[in-house]
Chain A
Amino acid sequence: ETGVTQSPTHLIKTRGQQVTLRCSSQSGHNTVSWYQQALGQGPQFIFQYYREEENGRGNFPPRFSGLQFPNYSSELNVNALELDDSALYLCASSFNDRIPYGYTFGSGTRLTVV
């Protein structure tokens, strides 16, 4: 299977709720990164998982958490949603966590918090 797929494509949640976003990586890609892209901004690094362990984290609070599974799928969980969490969430996968140019991005999940 080729490409990175994300689900759902769009989501509307209420402030204070919890949300789970899903990503299916390319077969063989053992590294997945998650990014938050606010409107008119570049993607901001949330965290990265390598072989099911978190090996890097950006400047995001602990209410942002993740999981990576052996079948090349992963999740981003956000608790206690805030209005500022409204953004496009991007998943990117790579076969190697040491090659920063090797990531393939999904089309993202557009999250709106009301």
Chain B
Amino acid sequence: QKEVEQDPGPLSVPEGAIVSLNCTYSNSAFQYFMWYRQYSRKGPELLMYTYSSGNKEDGRFTAQVDKSSKYISLFIRDSQPSDSATYLCAMSGSGGYQKVTFGTGTKLQVIP
């Protein structure tokens, strides 16, 4: 079993839709939870991060972490064609050096 599981999609939605992206994980030591966006032929760019459980909102994006269920989500409101990309969840422990473990990524297409 992989430490981080993510539905690869692809996910296709109409412009304006609410998008829900999810990951599950098995490592209880994970404390930092991150979402990256990766456009074709580019490196990942950080969208949001959360420490421990809870919600965090940034514009149209909301990240949720439920450590009791080992489940994290990213919601995108009013999705735009420019949101079309691959979304990667990533996780890490805390305290000293910690490597970052990525999910496989979900490919999202927002159709105008």
Contacts and interface: CB of A to CB of B under 8 A. Distances in A.
Interface of A: 4, 33, 35, 40-45, 48, 50, 55-56, 58, 90, 92, 97-98, 100-101, 103, 105-108
Nearest to A97: B97
Interface string B83-112: 000001010101011111111110000000
Interface of B: 4, 6, 8, 32, 34, 41-46, 49, 88, 90, 92, 94, 96-105
A90 B98 CA distance: 18
B97 A90 contact: no
19 contacts: A33-B99, A42-B103, A42-B105, A43-B44, A43-B88, A45-B100, A56-B97, A56-B99, A98-B98, A100-B34, A100-B49, A100-B100, A101-B92, A105-B43, A105-B44, A105-B45, A107-B42, A107-B43, A108-B43
A43 B103 CA distance: 8
Given A100-B34, A105-B44, A42 B100 contact: no
B11 to A, nearest CB: 14
A101 B34 contact: yes
Given A105-B44, A107-B43, A98 B34 contact: no
Given A48-B97, A98-B96, 16 more contacts: A35-B102, A40-B105, A43-B44, A44-B102, A56-B97, A58-B99, A90-B44, A100-B94, A100-B98, A100-B100, A103-B46, A105-B43, A105-B45, A107-B41, A107-B43, A108-B42
